[in-house]
């Protein structure tokens, strides 16, 4: 991967966040006891003397669900399916209390189920809904899970604050299934607030990234996060399905390895019984061995580890690699084109099948739609250098792209070709690993490539040297200790077809496809040099 060394100044905001989180936790502890007592009291009153409670049995705290019965008679409906229910029909819904507001003899609840919301109403009447029942409903902490039985009622004027805008639920039974703390470390409403809001007051109420990650279980409940991780699952599914259709076989490669795979730098050490071992920085050797073992075209999806102390918006110490490797007949462009085409198909699949998720992310974050060409734009490194020089950058022919140059190039390419995805072929040999096949027509270059989304590298790949003697020669040229890579070289002594491949960072693809600004937004439980929890 092209390295970058930008250290982002997150320290300041992190400290502030920690303090805020600490304060919130303290307040929460206090409020929790209070709320639990209130809920309890609401229930106790059902047997109290103040007035007769004719709603007994229609509300309350459910005993912890321990699989005693099946309640097969309860007709549960998903919130997003409510609009298909017959007018005035009675349904059961399980969901979270998103917001609640008790107002005299009425209680308004917004019930949330993943990204769908619906308004629920309880109003005291003479026979079925007692004031105790309304009070109980109003005392349930936000984010608690409840079961309700309710009548589906059409409304005249749209309910703008809910995803179900044309109906509301008139509650006839309500039970608390699982209570949330009364005081939460963050409010879903705040965590979900659009970044593009025009309201300066609203923009002040931001949830800091560390607060989000420290309380990921809550943070993941926002509509944007629900969408991000569903789309991420889609990227993996598309990657695998597209390659399976092209005749690739999925393999699984070991993460614990006996020797550091890429030279020993930036590798995590593991205690392995009485020995030391390492965490694989890439599945590359194993993918190549699978090719040498006649699997012809392989892919693997799995954890990749980098012990790099990079605290940037795009580095993680553990991420998911989408890796592929493919034997070819005579030219590595057979592979390059297969990878390029795979990306095109992924982008089309996302556009066509995940429009709802993309829109949900767009509700919170400012995102330009992702643009791509078919077939993808392919440039040679020398062309990129020319474009950069024309834009005023001073650089040598064989110099690697700096991070600012990489980003500038992305903008230049976007302006000239109107695409957010492109392939850069023929990298200088000097900046690639020893196992990269040199360009046969120009010894300064190599049969290697990177691919970019919105100006950031998301794939690095190459034709690998499949000839053991030449591999030794190139390793020596790089001053690599041959004894340490003997096993790697040995794999090519039993006949190996020419092959090429590449590794894709899953979280980067999702971040850049959606135009997000930090890779921690696309890793469900991110790991970086300073974060190992949750």
The residue (of 188 and 412) whose beta carbon lies closer to its own copies is: 188
Least distance from C-beta 408 to its own copies, angstroms? 29
277 near its own copies, judged by CB under 8 A: yes
Helix (H) or strand (E) holding 101: strand 90-103
Give the tokens for residue 492: 């090519």
457 a catalytic residue: yes
Catalytic residue among 457, 466, 499, 520: 457
Provide the minimum distance between the beta carbon of 51 and its own copies in the complex, in angstroms, as a whole number. 31
Tokens of 185: 């470390």
- Partners of 59 in the beta sheet? 174
Minimum CB distance to its own copies, residue 243 (Å): 11
460 is catalytic: yes
Residue 368 CB, shortest distance to its own copies, in Å, is: 26
Residue 30 in contact with its own copies, rule: CB under 8 A: no
Toward its own copies, which CB reaches closer, 116 or 130?
116
Among 253, 282, 284, 310, binds its own copies (CB under 8 A): 253
Residues 6+ apart with CB under 8 A from 241: none
**Cα–Cα dist 212/224, whole Å:** 13
Backbone φ, ψ for residue 352 (5° rounding): -85, -30
Position among 149, 151, 246, 333 found at the interface with its own copies (CB under 8 A): 333
Site for its own copies contains 467 (CB under 8 A): yes
- Residue 168 near residue 120, CB atoms below 8 Å: yes
In whole angstroms, how close is the CB of 42 to its own copies at the nearest point? 17
Q: Does 486 interact with its own copies (rule: CB under 8 A)?
A: no
Please tell me the count of residues contacting its own copies according to CB under 8 A. Answer: 107
Instruction: Say which of 308, 318, 325, 357 is annotated catalytic.
Output: 308
Q: How far apart are CA 523 and CA 481, in angstroms?
A: 36
Residues in 388-407 at the binding interface with its own copies, rule: CB under 8 A: none
Does 296 contact its own copies by CB under 8 A?
Answer: yes
Q: Does 329 bind its own copies (CB under 8 A)?
A: yes
- Of 415, 440, 410, nearest in space to 512 by CA: 410
- Give least dist CB 95 to its own copies, A: 9
| Catalytic status, residue 493 | no
Distances (CA, A) of 520 to 223, 299, 467, 526: 17, 25, 40, 6
Pairing of β 106-113 and β 90-103: antiparallel
- Which is nearer to its own copies, 69 or 104 (by Cβ)? 69
Q: Quick one: which segment of 100-108, 205-213, 379-387, 489-497 binds its own copies (CB under 8 A)? A: 489-497
**Residue whose entry in the numeric block shows the structure tokens 């006996």:** 258
Active site residue: 314, 432, 466, 531, which one? 314
Q: Which of 239, 286, 354, 370 binds its own copies (CB under 8 A)?
A: 286
Told to check if 233 binds its own copies by CB under 8 A, we report yes
Cα–Cα distance measured from residue 218 to residue 58, given in angstroms and rounded to the nearest whole number: 29
C-alpha triplet 242, 338, 227: angle, nearest 5°:
40
Does the protein bind its own copies through residue 220 (CB under 8 A)?
A: yes
Task: State the DSSP H helix or E strand holding residue 22, giving kind and residue range, or none if neither.
Answer: helix 11-44
Give the long-range contacts of residues 261-268, CB within 8 A, separation 24 or more: 261/285, 262/433, 263/480, 264/484, 266/306, 266/307, 266/308, 267/305, 267/307, 268/305, 268/307, 268/317
**CB under 8 Å, gap of 24 or more: what pairs does 119-126 form?**
119/159, 119/161, 119/162, 119/164, 119/168, 119/169, 120/148, 120/150, 120/168, 120/169, 120/170, 120/171, 121/168, 121/169, 121/170, 121/171, 122/170, 122/171, 122/174
Q: Which of 94, 193, 221, 508 is catalytic?
A: 508
Find the binder of its own copies among 16, 37, 56, 303 (CB under 8 A).
303
Active-site annotation holder among 115, 282, 460, 523 = 460
Taking the C-alpha atoms of residue 159 and residue 49, their distance in angstroms, rounded to an integer, is 38
Q: By the 8 A CB rule, do 247 and 334 touch?
A: no
Q: How far is the CB of 114 from its own copies (least distance, A)?
A: 5
Stretches 47-55, 153-161, 224-232, 338-346: which one binds its own copies (CB under 8 A)?
Answer: 224-232
Write out the E strands in 328-447.
377-380, 421-425
- Under the binding rule (CB under 8 A), the answer on residue 257 touching its own copies is yes
For residue 255, state whether it binds its own copies (rule: CB under 8 A): yes
Q: By rule CB under 8 A, what string of x and - marks binding of each residue 497-526 to its own copies?
A: xx-------x----------------xxx-
Residue 308 appears among annotated catalytic residues: yes
Q: Which is nearer to its own copies, 253 or 419 (CB)?
A: 253
Binding residue for its own copies (CB under 8 A) from 101, 196, 252, 356? 252
229 contacts its own copies (rule: CB under 8 A): yes
Q: State which residue, 296 or 380, has the beta carbon closest to its own copies.
A: 296
66 binds its own copies (CB under 8 A): yes
Using CA atoms, how far apart are residues 355 and 360, in angstroms rounded to an integer? 9
What positions carry a catalytic annotation?
306, 308, 314-315, 457, 460, 508
């Amino acid at each position: 991967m092209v390295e970058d060394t930008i250290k982002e100044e997150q320290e300041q905001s992190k400290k502030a966040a920690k303090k805020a989180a600490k304060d919130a936790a303290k307040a929460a502890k206090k409020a929790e006891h209070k709320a639990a007592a209130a809920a309890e009291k609401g229930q106790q009153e059902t047997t109290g003397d103040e007035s007769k409670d004719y709603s007994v049995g229609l509300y309350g705290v459910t005993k912890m669900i321990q699989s005693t019965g099946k309640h097969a008679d309860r007709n549960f409906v998903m919130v997003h399916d409510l609009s298909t229910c017959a007018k005035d029909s009675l349904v059961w819904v399980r969901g979270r209390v998103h917001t609640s507001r008790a107002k005299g003899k009425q209680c308004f609840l917004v019930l949330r189920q993943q990204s769908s919301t619906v308004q629920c109403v309880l109003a005291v009447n003479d026979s079925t809904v007692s004031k105790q029942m309304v009070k109980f409903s109003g005392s349930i902490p936000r984010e608690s899970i409840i079961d309700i039985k309710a009548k589906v009622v059409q409304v005249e004027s749209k309910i703008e604050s809910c995803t179900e805008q044309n109906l509301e639920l008139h509650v006839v039974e309500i039970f608390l299934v699982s209570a949330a703390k009364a005081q939460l470390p963050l409010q879903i409403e705040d965590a979900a607030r659009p970044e593009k809001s025009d309201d300066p007051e609203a923009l002040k109420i931001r949830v800091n990234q560390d607060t989000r990650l420290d309380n990921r279980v809550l943070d993941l409940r926002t509509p944007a996060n629900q969408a991000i991780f569903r789309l991420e699952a889609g990227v993996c599914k598309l990657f695998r399905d597209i390659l399976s259709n092209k005749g690739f076989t999925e393999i699984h490669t070991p993460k614990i390895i006996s020797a550091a795979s890429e030279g020993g730098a930036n590798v995590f050490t593991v205690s392995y019984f009485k020995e030391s071992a390492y965490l694989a920085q890439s599945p590359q050797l194993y993918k190549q061995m699978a090719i040498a073992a006649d699997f012809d075209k392989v892919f693997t999806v799995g954890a990749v580890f980098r012990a790099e102390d990079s605290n940037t918006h795009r580095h993680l110490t553990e991420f998911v690699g989408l890796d592929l490797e493919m034997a070819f007949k005579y030219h590595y462009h057979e592979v390059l084109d297969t990878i390029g085409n795979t990306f095109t198909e992924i982008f089309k699949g996302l556009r066509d099948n995940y429009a709802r998720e993309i829109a949900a992310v767009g509700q919170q974050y400012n995102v330009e739609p992702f643009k791509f060409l078919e077939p993808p734009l392919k440039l040679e490194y020398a062309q990129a250098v020319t474009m950069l020089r024309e834009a005023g950058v001073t650089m040598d022919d064989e110099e690697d792209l700096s991070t600012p140059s990489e980003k500038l190039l992305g903008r230049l390419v976007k302006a000239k070709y109107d695409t957010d995805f492109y392939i850069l072929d023929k990298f200088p040999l000097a900046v690639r690993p020893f196992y990269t096949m040199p360009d046969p027509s120009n010894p300064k270059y190599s049969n290697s490539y990177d691919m970019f989304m919105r100006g950031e590298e998301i794939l690095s790949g190459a034709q690998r040297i499949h000839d053991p003697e030449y591999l030794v020669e190139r390793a020596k040229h790089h001053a690599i200790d041959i004894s340490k890579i003997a096993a790697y070289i040995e794999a090519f002594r039993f006949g190996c077809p020419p092959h090429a491949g590449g590794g894709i960072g899953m979280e980067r693809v999702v971040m850049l496809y959606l135009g997000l600004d930090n890779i921690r937004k696309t890793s469900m439980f991110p790991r970086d040099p300073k974060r190992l929890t949750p």
